[in-house]
Structure 1
Amino acid sequence: MVKKRHIPEVPYRNPAGTELGIEVLTLGALRSRASGGHDLTRPQRPEFHLLMLVTAGTGTHTVDFTPYRLRPGSVVWVRPGQVQQFRSWARLEGPLLLFRPDFPPPDAASPFGPSHWQLTTENRVLAGTAADHLAVEYAALAHAPPAAAGRLLAHLLGALLHRLSSASDPRGPRYNDAFLRFREAVERDFATRHRVADYAHALGYSPRTLTRATQDAVGMGAKEFLDRRIVLEARRLLAHTDLAAAAIGARLGFPDPANFVKYFRHRTGTAPGGFRSDFTA
């Protein structure tokens, strides 16, 4: 019997048995946990944020088909729903934070943003200090009443996330309101809405306004932004599940398999079956 491939969806669970929405540990501690029978080298899709700061060693971590080479000062932020995979990480050291989407302050943990960036020497010191402070308080409060502990830890996590986010782009956010609303709508509805005009109508903008707003924010038009999100999900399902291409197309809003194949080939240069073969070769 051929073993079925799938993307394990990993829910948040604090092994300490607390109700806290955050776990603060280290990459070394996670490796020890993995040696007890938890296979972390397979692709998985966490339902929570996974944030690591590399302080020593080198290695590789993959997020949504992109392998990132890590070294001291590297930050990896895997957001809920992304497919991530621990690759060569035996020598990596540093803090690791796992936290639910609703744990930090609302403005501190966007579901969007870069998956990897490199800190400057100054920001490495500042981020390391913030992470150490969080770890000390977590150790002291892990068994305290969740409500009291959670407020303090959420505040400290928010401070660290703001530090890291500003370090990833010192110029700060440049996103306009129209793009932010469009981005959220795409993430929610990309499998059922494939036309920019439909998003524009639902959001109360003209298609031209959405296109201009998206171009200003991320350097591509609204249609390309939408298409990239659909194609990303198709790649995830092709690479990490055994669903037939027709079933994947139907899940993504293409009831006609031929239309899905044409759409995917036009935007990637290969057919769905060819992509799956190349990925699993």
Structure 2
Amino acid sequence: MSKIRQLTWQPAGAVARPVEVMTFDRLRKLNDGRTQRADFHVLAVIQAGHGSVSIDFSSYLLIARTAIWIAPGAVHRWDQMADVAGHVVLFVPTAPVTPATRKLVAAPDLVAGWRIPVDQWELVAAAMTHLRLEASAAPTGPTTELLEILVSALVARLRPPPARARPENTIFRLFRCHVEAHFRVHHDAGYYAQVMGYAPRTLSRAVQQATGQTAKTYLTDRLVLEAQRLLAHDRLTTSRCASELGFLDASSFSVFFRNATGQRPGSWQTTSFTR
């Protein structure tokens, strides 16, 4: 569990609220320089300064008028933030209350960092200020509901872009849901075609249209990402990774990982960004 959650979301004798806001000063005090993997969203809005954050093994700049979105499950590390000013919003996946924002935060393909347009900055700052003020108020009956409404307003105002422009594709969305639920057990794209009731070629065309990848490649990439997260953050052995991800043994997992990345799991783990 993330250190941030342990330190800020477990008040003694109280139920944690679904939304919390902190400054970068507070984050610096909590941060120990190691990787984190939270089961909630981490949304940062940068007002000033310069730094960087690593999210799922890619680096993103922290500069003025930048938004950073770290989805649940992503392995991340705050690399440089000594002079960064802004706010960080922590919220559970169910916190947004509008259909549009709930759909948006559930999407697994949002970009992790983007610049906020100049003409939107004042409105984003106002939405953050209102959320911050409510989050700092003493808890009362409607506080939780207000926080959920205000975090929805902030998300809607930020308008996080998708990682890739693609048309609406019902088959792909269903495939993606099934993959997220079952990729640790089922590694064959044919399984997903069968349970979805589509011919393998139909599924392949739909995934290709949405992502530019075959269904097999999409599934392989998802497995590799989870393997990297387990190796980097959880520091699992090759054998434990194989077991967690449904491979018959360490050898078959090692061959899979090497074919996909060009490195053996142990070698990748040694050279990953973890400390």
Q: Normalising by the residue count of structure 2, what TM-score does the alignment of the two structures yield?
A: 0.87
- Once the two structures are TM-superposed, the CA of residue 273 in structure 1 deviates from its matched residue by 2.0
Aligned residue number for residue 126 of structure 1: 123
Aligned residue number for residue 145 of structure 2: 151
Task: Tell me if structure 2 keeps the 8 A contact 1:10–1:45.
Answer: no
Task: Work out the CA distance in 2 between the residues paired with 1:155 and 1:203.
Answer: 35
Going from structure 1 to structure 2, the CA distance change for 1:59 and 1:9 (only over 3 Å counts) comes to closer
Going from structure 1 to structure 2, the CA distance change for 1:19 and 1:262 (only over 3 Å counts) comes to closer
Going from structure 1 to structure 2, the CA distance change for 1:169 and 1:234 (only over 3 Å counts) comes to closer
Task: Work out the CA distance in 1 between the residues paired with 2:45 and 2:2.
Answer: 25
- Once the two structures are TM-superposed, the CA of residue 14 in structure 1 deviates from its matched residue by 5.5
Task: Tell me if structure 2 keeps the 8 A contact 1:52–1:96.
Answer: yes
The letter of the residue matching 2:67 is V
Gaps of 5+ in 1: 1-5
Going from structure 1 to structure 2, the CA distance change for 1:23 and 1:46 (only over 3 Å counts) comes to same
Task: Tell me if structure 2 keeps the 8 A contact 1:214–1:220.
Answer: yes
Q: Cα deviations across residues 90-115 of structure 1 (Å, max 9, x unaligned)?
A: 11111210111111123342252221
SS of structure 1 residue aligned to 2:223: helix
Task: Work out the CA distance in 2 between the residues paired with 1:124 and 1:255.
Answer: 51
Q: 2:37 aligns with which of 32, 45, 66?
A: 45
Q: % of aligned pairs identical?
A: 35
Q: 1:80 aligns with which of 62, 72, 81?
A: 72
Runs of 4+ in 1 over 4 A off after TM superposition: 6-12, 14-19, 169-173
Aligned residue number for residue 98 of structure 1: 90
Gaps of 5+ in 2: none
Task: Work out the CA distance in 2 between the residues paired with 1:7 and 1:153.
Answer: 22
- Once the two structures are TM-superposed, the CA of residue 58 in structure 1 deviates from its matched residue by 0.6
Task: Work out the CA distance in 2 between the residues paired with 1:186 and 1:75.
Answer: 28
Task: Work out the CA distance in 2 between the residues paired with 1:262 and 1:170.
Answer: 29
Q: 2:207 aligns with which of 187, 193, 214?
A: 214
SS of structure 2 residue aligned to 1:168: coil
Moved more, 225-234 or 244-253: 244-253
Aligned residue number for residue 218 of structure 2: 225
SS of structure 1 residue aligned to 2:21: strand
Q: Cα deviations across residues 167-207 of structure 1 (Å, max 9, x unaligned)?
A: 52599873422111211211121110101111111122222
Aligned residue number for residue 135 of structure 1: 132
Task: Tell me if structure 2 keeps the 8 A contact 1:174–1:217.
Answer: yes
Moved more, 235-244 or 81-90: 235-244
Task: Tell me if structure 1 keeps the 8 A contact 2:111–2:163.
Answer: no
Task: Tell me if structure 2 keeps the 8 A contact 1:48–1:80.
Answer: yes
Aligned residue number for residue 3 of structure 1: none
Task: Work out the CA distance in 2 between the residues paired with 1:177 and 1:271.
Answer: 36
2:185 corresponds to 1:174:
no
The letter of the residue matching 1:50 is V
Task: Tell me if structure 1 keeps the 8 A contact 2:75–2:233.
Answer: no
CA RMSD in angstroms, aligned pairs only: 2.6
Task: Tell me if structure 1 keeps the 8 A contact 2:19–2:151.
Answer: no
Q: Cα deviations across residues 123-171 of structure 1 (Å, max 9, x unaligned)?
A: 222221211122223334x4111xx222222122112112223x52599
Q: 2:18 aligns with which of 18, 21, 27?
A: 21
The letter of the residue matching 1:158 is S
Aligned length: 267
Task: Tell me if structure 1 keeps the 8 A contact 2:53–2:78.
Answer: yes
- Once the two structures are TM-superposed, the CA of residue 268 in structure 1 deviates from its matched residue by 0.5
2:56 corresponds to 1:64:
yes
Task: Tell me if structure 1 keeps the 8 A contact 2:67–2:115.
Answer: yes
